[in-house]
Amino acid sequence: MRILTAVVVAGLLLSAALPMQAQPCTGDVLKVENRILELTRTGDVDALAGLLAERFVVVNATGRITEREQLLERKAEARRVYKRLEAESLDVRCHGSSAVVVGTAVVEFAPESMAHYSGQYRYIRVYANEQGGWKAISLQLSSIEPTVRP
C-alpha cells in the first residue's frame, strides 16, 4: 500500500511540475474566435454567418437573448458602429467536439451607435465542431466595470 501511495504521489508531483501542453483544438478555435471578432468589427455579415451555428444565441450583459438571425439582421443594418473591439486573456478549453473560450473584451461604440454600452466585459463563447469546422453556438457577456450610462 505504501508503494502504491508513493507512486500516486510521485505521479501527481511530476504532472504538476510539467508545463501544461496546449489542447489539440486550441489553435483552430482561436483562429475562429479572432476571425469572429474581426468580422464583428468590420460588419462582414456574410462571412460572420458562416462561423455561427444555425441555432447560435447571445445572452447579453443585461440578460437579453438574441437569436442568430436577429443578430445578423442588426449587423446588416449597421446599427452598431465599433470604435474599438479588442479581446484579451483568451483561454480555450477543449472538450471533445466542443470548446469554450473565456476572455475579456474592451468595447467602445461610436457616439451615434449605442455608446452607453461601451465598457469592459468578460465573455464566454461556446463552440462545436460541426462537419469538420468550428462554429460558435453561444455567447454570454457579463459587464466587468460599470458601463457608461447617459
Report how far residue 70's alpha carbon sits from residue 45's, in angstroms, rounded to the nearest whole number: 12
* Residue 16 pLDDT > 50: no
State pLDDT tens for residues 59-111. Answer: 998 899 999 999 999 888 876 677 888 899 999 999 999 999 999 998 887 76
List, in sequence order, the alpha helices (H) in the chain.
2-17, 26-42, 45-49, 68-76
Domain assignments of the chain as residue spans, ordered by start: 23-143
Band of pLDDT at residue 146, cut at 50, 70 and 90: low
Q: Which CATH class is domain 23-143?
A: alpha beta
